[in-house]
Chains A and B, each alone.
Chain A
Amino acid sequence: MNARTLPLLATMVIFLAAYAVCYVQFPAMLSTRVIGNLLTDNAFLGIVAVGMTFVILSGGIDLSVGSVIAFSGVFIAVLLRDTGLHPLVVFAMLLVLTTLFGAAMGAIIHHLEMPPFIVTLAGMFLARGMAYVLSIDSVPITHAFYDQLQGLYYVMPGKGRLTLIGAIMLAVFVAGMLVAHRTRFGTNVYALGGGVQTARLMGVPVQRTTIRIYALSGFLAGLSGIVFSIYTSAGYSLATVGVELDAIAAVVIGGTLLTGGSGFVAGTLIGVLIMGLIQTYIIFDGTLSSWWTKIVIGILLFAFIVLQKGLVWLTSQRGLAMRGGPGGTR
């Protein structure tokens, strides 16, 4: 068995165990209604977490996504309120905008050799500021097309609803898995995470890959913003504060190494579901404060970072043992 898949397996085990605990206390948790809601409620987080997975796999970070989601919501709401454009046109405009925004951040990171943390932090403030410029208040979205979209769902056996946005999230995950594991771009992302210098020596187009990674993250943040606006029927510049951190948490809980180069898109889905499950449990319980979500996620995150450190340590120990003998290198 590969040591790299261990965090993924650990995540799956934790998810199944957590679900089992929930089921024992509240048998209703296993119904497709709960599952449907789990997907719907976490759709926007899941979509943005796929983008975050690529960024983190490459050894970077994208702190701007929460603000981009909020900006997207406001952008859509304001445009639908003030112009006669069809929502689909607005969606297309928005996706082009957020993709370019991400690409610009990627270009700055690559060409100015700046840490992604700083560049995307600036992007975070910029996007949030732009949202404020468009509107300070919460702008409701009242468009017939939105009602249509919200009415789209597939009734699963057991009366659970797989909504459009839940389905979009699942589709994004499937696409993400294919891109990560079955395309050259995906391999290049892992290569960057393994070491930029080495990747460059091996012929990985570092510039193109870096820009595409952040463009992808920007695109998915835009898509997540669309989904969030469908979910809430409003655009609000103060919404989704800190969602970038939730996404990072989901990625790490999903077994992706925060230093890059190792992890799975599928793990992120489970990471998102674990976070959603904790929330669902708290709702079912009814007496617990919702802050318990944060506490449990904090504990989980810490546990995963320790697990990853341990794995890294174990592999390096094995590497030394395999090399064998003392014989200093000079």
Chain B
Amino acid sequence: MPENRPLLHATAVTKTFPGTVALDGVDFTLHSGEVHALLGENGAGKSTLIKCLTGAYRRDGGEILLDGRPIDPRDTLEAQTLGIGTVYQEVNLLPNLSVAENLCLGHQPTRFGMISSRAMSRSARQTLAQYGLEIDVTRNLDTYSVAVQQVVAIARAVSLSGKVLILDEPTASLDALEVRMLFDVVRALKERGLGIVFISHFLDQVFEISDRITVLRNGKLVGTQAIAEIDRTRLVNLMLGRELEQETRESGRTDRPEGEAMIRFRDFGRGGRIAPFDLDIHAGEVVGVAGLLGSGRTETAETLFGVTPHDSGAASDAGKPLHLGSPRDAIAGGFGFCPEDRKSDGIIGDLSVRENIVLALQARRGWTKPVPAREQAAMADEFIRRLDIRTPDAEKPVGLLSGGNQQKVMLARWLATNPRFLILDEPTRGIDVGAHAEIIRLIEELCARGMALLVISSELDELVAYSHRVIVVRDRHHVAELVGAEITTNNMVAAIAADREAAL
């Protein structure tokens, strides 16, 4: 690796959004001829950093040097002309145009003002030949597989920019063979001297293709290391973080409730999403779920709640079978579910705090029995007080509140239905430290009152703090269950990082 001047050198890049600091003084260097993996959980700041580099966001602070010259791209087009090209997971090309048109859009060869389709096809064929792709370039892009589209996208990005190539989860929807093909392309480009930023949550692929790794967490730089100097355990440690600022306990809670399980899941699973698992839920117990992004955490929650109904196994409630074919069934069974992505799956931003809180209760009662207005207002006021939701009044649209308060409104919605079993997917993601502590306190309080909770979190310290039991998920399997004193961040990291072969 040439150690002289880096191709891309970003120092102290900072970006704040209302309520959160998405990037806090992050440094990043990229040399030509290297593949540099950028890692971190959701909300770690990966995509914010990428967007600052490509001009999709304007950074609030810091400096970016490309070839030693400071740059400040206003939009992705400007970044592209400067030499920074990006390829996203969802191919950002036009499926209704031909492969050649997609490659040449904006710079089609013309003769007398008319596009020369023959010249265009010829140049497209030549470009793709460099990537070992011999296809009919006059056919529409959507007649080809995602992998081919991905290579076309790379070819376009490289031909337009030619210095830095950012690959944002390019392998997420490819199969093993297609990944191989893509990696061959990446290696060839590396040989040609491009600097490549590779984002993926598949650790195997990261270890296979990268030269160096940079890990971000909570908007901060955790570290940059050469791939040879780091092992999986260390990497998972870096990504998930060990040292939370606040005081935490060493191992999980041992005051686990005794007696019969309230709800039992046997061989519960869904093909392609989560392998069948057994799970017992006791009243007054917090079950933590640990695992990396994409490991099957959210899939577990969605299968339990009937969002993606299970296709194997069964659930039983105190010995009686429990039908869980849809979220409606789950709600009828006394379940509640706060999904990970509040904005798209949970909160309805344009509705008021009151309306959002009443939503689930109303759904449960059925639309023919509206909740009286006075009752709605009283309920909203009660939850605003109880959960300390910071809002001027109950009629404020939820979209205007901060992330932490939105999360509380969503919790309130489910608490209003008085569930027996509440599933929380990343309840503390993207909220400030104060609200964070309050949510944890609330989880403990609900548990003390006899509610059963299943909490998914990337924050291992947090799981240690409130879990009686922790289930570790990897590659869409439940691979380990830790109870009481076994629950330590070390044990969780070990279970998450264990090689597939070792686990079998």
Contacts and interface: CB of A to CB of B under 8 A. Distances in A.
A131 B80 CA distance: 49
A251 B148 CA distance: 33
B145 A323 contact: yes
Give the bracket for the number of chain A residues in contact with chain B. 20 to 34
B113 A326 contact: no
A130 B172 CA distance: 56
Given A190-B96, A190-B97, A328 B272 contact: yes
A203 B108 contact: no
B237 to A, nearest CB: 23
A330 interface: yes
A182 B110 CA distance: 9
B76 interface: yes
A2 interface: yes
Contact of B273 (A181, A182, A184, A328): A328
A262 B92 contact: no
B298 A187 contact: no
Contact of B101 (A187, A203, A315): A187
B299 interface: yes
Contacts of A203: 77, 80, 105-106
A199 B94 contact: yes
A329 B172 contact: yes
A182 B95 CA distance: 19
Contact of B95 (A184, A186, A194): A194
Contacts of B110: 184
25 contacts: A2-B140, A4-B140, A178-B114, A181-B115, A182-B114, A184-B108, A187-B101, A187-B115, A190-B97, A190-B101, A191-B97, A194-B97, A198-B93, A198-B94, A201-B76, A202-B156, A203-B77, A204-B105, A261-B96, A315-B142, A322-B145, A323-B175, A327-B175, A329-B172, A330-B172
Contacts of A27: none
A201 B95 CA distance: 14
A157 interface: no
Given A183-B115, A194-B96, A330-B294, 12 more contacts: A2-B140, A182-B114, A184-B110, A191-B105, A194-B95, A199-B94, A202-B106, A261-B96, A315-B142, A326-B271, A327-B175, A327-B272
Contacts of B271: 326
Contacts of A327: 175, 272
Contacts of A326: 271-272
Nearest to B175: A325
B173 interface: yes
Interface string A189-209: 011011100110111100000
Nearest to B271: A326
Which has the most chain A C-beta neighbours within 10 Å: B96, B142, B298, B299? Answer: B96
Contacts of B139: 2
Nearest to A191: B94
B324 interface: no
B257 to A, nearest CB: 32
B154 to A, nearest CB: 14
A261 B97 CA distance: 8
Contacts of B117: 182
